[in-house]
Amino acid sequence: MNPADRFVMNHASMAPPQFVTWLDDAATLQAAHIKISTLMDSWVPTSPQFKDHKEKIESEWQKALALNLRTTKGLQMTTAAAVEDVYINAAYLVLRAKNDKDETWLYNNGFTLKEKIKRVYARPVSLFGHVLRVKNGPQIGEVTVSWDKDPGAGSYQLQICKGHPQGEESFEDYGQLTLVRTIIAKLERANWYYFRVRSVGNNEYGPWSEPVAIIIT
C-alpha cells in the first residue's frame, strides 16, 4: 500500500524550517507512541533518525543562508535523505496497521491522515455498554483488552486512565480500533489502570462500558 493513500506526504515540498519542525514533532510523538516506541522493527528509521536529519538540515540551511542562497547541493542531499527515511517510516506504519488490523499505528505519529470516505452501517450501534475483559500479559508490563463484537460498529474507541478516575477528563484516548482485542504495552508495573470502550458507528457512538481496573504485573 502506498503511504500517500493514507497520509499527506508533502515533505519533499516543505521549506527547510517547516521540514525540520515536522521532523522534530514527529520524533517526539513517535518516541512517546505506545506501539511505535516498543513494537517497531529496528531497521525502520524513526525518532533517532528524524532527530539526526533535523540537525543536518538545520546546519545546511544555515550554510545556505550565510551564502545568501535559497539552496545548496548539501541542503538538497540532506533533505532528500530525510524524505526517503520519512517515506520508509510512513510505509511501514501503513503496512503494520493493515497487517495487525490496528489503526492505532496511524495516529499521533506526526503524519496527517487523509480523510477517508465513511462507510455507512445499516445497523445502529448497540444501546448497551460492552462488557470489557482485561488481563495481564502476554508480556511483563502488558495487558490484553477484549470485548464482544457490536454488529453496528465500524470501529471501537478505547480509553485509558492511570490511577483512579477523577472524572471524564481522567481518561485518554488509546485509539480507534477495528478489532475487539488488543494488547497494550509499555505500562508501568505495580500501578492501577482503568479501561473503557464504546462502539463507533454511522456518525453515532454507543455508551461507554463500565470502567475495568487492573494492577499491572
pTM for this predicted structure: 0.57
CB 93 within 8 A of CB 106: yes
Are 99 and 7 found together in one domain?
Answer: yes
- The pLDDT value recorded for residue 110 is 95
Same domain, 160 and 95: no
Per the structure, how many domains does the chain have?
Answer: 2
Q: Which band of pLDDT confidence, cut at 50, 70 and 90, is reported for residue 41?
A: very high
Q: Choose the final residue of a domain: 62, 89, 106.
A: 106
93 and 155 part of one domain: no
pLDDT number for residue 70: 87
Q: Is the dihedral of CA 103, 174, 25, 189 positive or negative?
A: negative
Domain boundary among 91, 106, 121: 106
CA–CA separation, 83 and 59 (whole Å): 16
Domain-embedded: residue 139: yes
DSSP line for 20-65 = HHHHHHHHHHHHH-TTHHHHS-TTS--HHHHHHHHHHHHHHHHHHH
Kindly state the cell numbers that stand for 10: 508533502
pLDDT over threshold 80, residue 118: no
The CATH number that applies at residue 171 is: 2.60.40.10
Whether residues 149 and 73 fall in one domain = no
Are residue 70 and residue 33 in the same domain, yes or no? Answer: yes
All cell numbers assigned to 48: 533517532
Same domain, 30 and 101: yes
Q: How far apart are the first and last CA of the chain?
A: 38
- pLDDT bucket at 198, cuts 50 / 70 / 90: very high
From CA 67, how far away is CA 4, in angstroms rounded?
A: 35
- Does 207 map to a domain? yes
Q: Specify whether the CB–CB gap between 207 and 147 falls below 8 A.
A: no
**Predicted confidence band at 114 (pLDDT cuts at 50, 70, 90)?**
confident
pLDDT of the residue at 202: 80
Residue 142 lies in a domain: yes
Taking residue 93's Cβ as centre, other Cβ atoms within 10 Å add up to 26
Residues 91 and 148 in one domain: no
Q: Are residues 24 and 76 in the same domain?
A: yes
Residue 124 is assigned to a structural domain of this protein? no
Domain enclosing residue 186, as ranges: 133-215
120 within domain boundaries: no
Are 99 and 137 members of one domain?
no
139 band by pLDDT with thresholds 50, 70 and 90:
very high
Q: Is the peptide bond before 16 cis (omega within 30 degrees of 0)?
A: no
b vs e for 156-188, b when ≥16 Cβ sit within 10 Å of the residue's Cβ? bbbbbbeeeeeeeeebeebbbbeebebbbeebe
Rounded Cα distance between 217 and 210, Å, is 22
Region 168-176 average pLDDT:
90
- Identify the domain boundary among 69, 89, 106: 106
